[in-house]
Structure 1
Amino acid sequence: MLTAVTTALDSEDAALIVPVRVRDLLPRDLPACSWSGSGTHLRQVERELVRVAAGEVDYLAVCTPMDLPVAIGGIDYQVREKAGTLWQLAVLPALQSRGLGTLLIRAAEQRIRNHGLRRAELAVEEDNPRARALYERLGYVAYGREPDAWDEEGPDGVIRRHETMCVLMHRDL
């Protein structure tokens, strides 16, 4: 899949169009994905990539012509019966609101269909209205809430438990 991302520059008349493509995320990509989270997060992503070979998950990357990931996200086929669950979706902060998240989600939905499933699900933190608005624009509907928690590494290197409440959303494909 090849598409282009348009980014406005300082001048109102200037735009930069960069072609991107979606492919599988590979272990060799992880050093270039430090923007997506802490070292703890990247180690978790590395563990999830092991599950790809078993067909339990897919992990995608939206890449620039230099093959650098600028958006990543996973699909877990083990969370809910008859659904692919999108998770760990992230876009390089400097390129947010440029269509990369939409491209990533649409590619993930196609993977779910290719897996023989007709439902996509995800959880979004209640305090992330921007992400929730994107999911709603893409046709996802809230159907419940549940708590979530994970370990995250702070800038001081200390690992703390992050606890949050998430809105559960789904979309029929």
Structure 2
Amino acid sequence: MGVITFTEEFSSPVPAGRLFKAFVLDFDHLLLKLMPQVFKNIETIEGNGGPGTIKKLNFTEGGEVKYLTHRIDALDKEKMMYSYTIIEGDAMDKIESISYEIKYEVSSNGGCKGKIVNKYFPKGGVELEEEKIKEARAQAMGIFKVVEAYLLANPDAYA
């Protein structure tokens, strides 16, 4: 089985710059604050936050996943584009890696629109279960919605 690619477009009433600052630039701190029941800690293993940086996300006890490690591949603050690859994790027995490319754009209504491209790279000879992929994508969108709700409730945050 080859690479499996999903492309999703989304819109938000939150301005693009605020979402980018919160969800990308301050991801580590904000998720620990907003979702302590999910994230135990996020540690930088290597790098300074730019491309090449490797981070390990440790999840709280009781969940399916204990940790994921990702590498930042690109970070363009001007174009509000971010890409990273999950390169390791205890739930990655069938997957070599998962890459994400996220782009935020200003929309005419004062909010933003965005595009996410996910690429799943299965290990040789492995069939990925579509249901598992859908679950993972729904969880990622759930995290996005938590951040979006926080920004809507706190209009001065990341302004």
TM-score (norm 1): 0.32
TM-score (norm 2): 0.34
